[in-house]
Structure formats: C-alpha cells, structure tokens
C-alpha cells in the first residue's frame, strides 16, 4: 500500500488527466468521422484551440439573465469534474474509491443536467425551453436503462463501487458473460443519447427545430460557452471510460509502480481509441432519427439492460 500522500497525489493526477484529455477524445472522434466520410479532417488538437479561443472572447449576457444563468456553466463543469474524480481511469485502490459509487456518479450527472435545464429556461427563449424539455424527456428514459446496467454490474461484483467492481473483474480473468454483452449494448445506446450523438442528436449542427443539447446553451458565449463545451466533452469521456473499463477492465493498474501506471495509461488510451472508431462508424452509418423515435431507441436500451440482468440471474445465480 502506497503512502497516503502519494495515493492522494495519484488521485489528483488521474483526475487532471481525465479532464485534460477529454477534448483530445472529442478531437479524435472528429478526425475518424472525417476519414470515414472522405473529408479533410481537422487536427486532433482542434478542440483545445476552440476552447482557448472561447476563453479569450468577451461574455455577452441577455438582459433577462439571472444569477442562475451566469453560475450554471461553473456548476455543470464542477459536477462533471466530480464525476470524473470518482471513476477509476488508470488505477484502482485510490483514496477516492470511498465515493467511487455508481449511484453517486448518476447523482452528479443528474445534478449537472438539472442546472443545465434550468439555465435553458432562465432566459425565456423558445429554443432554450424546447431544448430543456427535450433533455428532460431523454433523461427520464435514459436513467432507468443506466440504473438497470448498474444493477447488473452490482449483482456480478456484489458492490456498486466502481473500483471494487473493476478489481473483481480483473481478479476473475477472461470470462464470457452474456449478461455483459446485453448490458454493454444498452449502456452504449444510453451514452449516445446522454452525450447528444447521432442518431439521437447531432452536435455538429445548430438546426433549432431538431437540436437538444445545443438549444439549452444557445445563449451562452465567451468563457461560459467554453465551460459548457468542456463539460460536454468530459461527459463523453465519462461514458467512454465507463464502457471501456467496466466491460474491458484489462490493463488497469492495481499497484502503484511506474510500470503498472504507464501500462494503465497505454491500455486506457488504446481502448478509448478503438471505442471512438466504433462510435464514428455508428455515426457515419446512421442518420439523425426523428425526435418522436427517441423513446423507442431508449426503450430498446432499457430492454437490453434488462435482458442483461435476467441473463445474470438465470445463468450465474441459478434461479
């Protein structure tokens, strides 16, 4: 066991690595999509340049903006950073493992979504209200599916703690679990809906009649918009890391040695790169669906997670 100061330093470094590499993941997605669509791709570092440009711009606020509208970007980014801090990225057995609970993670995500929806309603524009109502509709259907995936994981590892569950999966070795196949598919569909990716939403367009997430942040500018964009990229990173480290936990460091930590960084980088390629293929092959078909999409995600839970009960518990 490492010295407590070293363990806390590693926890801080892991969180900083998490939030600093989130724009890089978004840039990699854009590059892969451009290659698949036979278009000239921007630099992988373009999201960092966009954030830097927005941070240098002046903030323009509407006359009707209240304190809630001005403080929401900081609250949303803060909740995403807290959510990132509880997710094991490179290693487990850190001091933050005490709060690394999936239920806590869902609570952080819901808190950020709550303030984001209020900010969309605060100005009183029609597009902000439309985006907030659509976001709440998606959240009300996505959260039950995510919780069903959580129950499957907790029943397998006998714990809702992410670090404990990942350590259990590492100790179990290579085991084919049909429950995890269904759950992974359902959680990927939830991630697509929650992060506003195709076919649920299109982050590359600002068409007012179809956008969901962009409608709530349409009135933001300058550093406020930069904070919102950064929080959105961290949220995408959160779901990607959850899928990569829960269903493919190999490579996560269980010891605080330099070699183990380096291998942990390499492993998570390789898994995220492959996951991004899969996401880009899905987005390139599908068109944006109508808003009224989103409930069917999320109902299918819930059904897959439910099948995963039932598969675990039938095959592993033996009922």
**What DSSP letter does each residue of 73-121 carry, written as one string?**
HHHHHHHHHHHHHTS-SSBSS-GGGGG-BHHHHHHHHHHHHHHHHHHHH
Cα gap 283→287, rounded to integer Å? 7
Contact between 178 and 311 under an 8 Å Cβ cutoff? The reply is yes
pLDDT at 177: 79
| Alpha-carbon separation of residue 140 from 147, 164, 278, 287 (angstroms) | 11, 28, 26, 23
Run of H or E including 223: helix 222-247
Domain count, the chain: 1
Please give the structure tokens belonging to residue 140.
């009300």
Task: Record the pTM.
Answer: 0.92
Greatest CA separation found in the chain?
62
Q: Tell me, what's the pLDDT at 248?
A: 82
Residues in the chain: 319
Which residues sit opposite 161 in a β-bridge? Answer: 101
- Tokens 């039950």 correspond to what residue? 144
* Ramachandran sector of residue 196 (left: φ over 0; alpha: ψ -120 to 50; beta: rest): left
- What is the residue whose two structure tokens read 């609250």? 75
Write out the two tokens for 125: 């524009």
Which among 37, 7, 16, 80 has a CA at the least distance from the CA of 228? 80
Token readout for 120 is 């969309």
Dihedral of alpha carbons 71, 97, 7, 169, sign: negative
CA dist 82 and 189 (Å) reads: 23
The tokens for 64 are 């009707």
pLDDT for the residue numbered 3: 64
Cα separation, 147 vs 100, whole angstroms: 15
Task: Specify the pLDDT at position 230.
Answer: 95
Q: In the prediction, which pLDDT does 2 show?
A: 57
Report the alpha-carbon distance of residue 44 to residue 29 in Å, rounded. Answer: 9
Q: What is the pLDDT along the chain (319 residues), one digit of tens a residue?
A: 456 777 788 888 999 999 999 999 999 999 998 888 888 888 899 999 999 999 999 998 888 888 999 999 999 999 999 999 888 888 887 777 777 788 888 889 999 999 999 998 888 888 888 888 888 889 889 988 988 888 888 888 888 888 888 888 887 766 777 888 899 999 999 999 888 888 888 777 666 666 777 778 888 999 999 999 999 999 999 999 999 888 888 888 777 788 888 888 898 999 999 998 998 888 888 878 888 888 999 999 999 999 988 888 887 655 4
Distance CA 95, CA 268 (A): 20
Cβ atoms of residues 74 and 227 within 8 Å: yes
Burial of 12 (0-12, 13-18, 19+ CB in 10 A): middle
Supply 126's token pair: 């029609």
Structural domain that includes position 205: 4-317
Beta strands in the chain (DSSP E): none
State the Cα–Cα distance between residues 146 and 242, nearest whole angstrom. Answer: 11
């Amino acid at each position: 066991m490492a010295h407590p100061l070293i363990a806390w330093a590693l926890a801080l470094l892991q969180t900083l690595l998490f939030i600093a590499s989130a724009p890089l993941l978004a840039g990699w997605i854009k590059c892969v999509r451009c290659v698949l669509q036979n278009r000239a791709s921007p630099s992988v570092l373009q999201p960092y340049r966009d954030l830097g440009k927005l941070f240098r711009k002046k903030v323009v606020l509407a006359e009707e903006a209240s304190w809630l509208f001005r403080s929401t970007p900081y609250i949303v980014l803060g909740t995403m950073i807290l959510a990132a801090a509880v997710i094991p990225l490179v290693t487990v057995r850190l001091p933050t493992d005490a709060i690394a609970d999936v239920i806590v993670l869902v609570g952080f995500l819901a808190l950020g979504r709550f303030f984001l929806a209020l900010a969309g309603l605060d100005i009183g524009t029609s597009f902000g209200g439309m985006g907030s109502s659509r976001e709440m509709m998606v959240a009300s259907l996505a959260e039950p599916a995510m919780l069903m995936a959580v129950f499957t994981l907790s029943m397998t590892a006998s714990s809702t703690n992410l670090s404990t569950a990942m350590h259990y999966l590492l100790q179990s070795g290579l085991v084919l679990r049909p429950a995890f196949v269904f759950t992974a598919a359902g959680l990927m569909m939830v991630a697509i809906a929650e992060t506003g990716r195709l076919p649920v939403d299109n982050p590359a367009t600002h068409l007012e009649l179809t956008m969901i997430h962009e409608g709530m942040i349409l009135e933001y500018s300058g550093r406020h918009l930069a904070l919102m964009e950064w929080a959105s990229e961290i949220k995408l990173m959160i779901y990607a890391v959850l899928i990569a480290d829960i269903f493919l936990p190999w490579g996560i460091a269980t010891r605080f040695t330099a070699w183990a930590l380096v291998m942990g960084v390499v492993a998570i980088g390789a898994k995220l790169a492959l996951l991004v390629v899969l996401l880009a293929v899905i987005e390139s092959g599908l068109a944006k669906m109508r808003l009224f078909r989103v409930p069917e999409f999320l109902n299918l995600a819930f059904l897959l997670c439910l099948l995963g839970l039932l598969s675990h009960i039938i095959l592993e518990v033996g009922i």
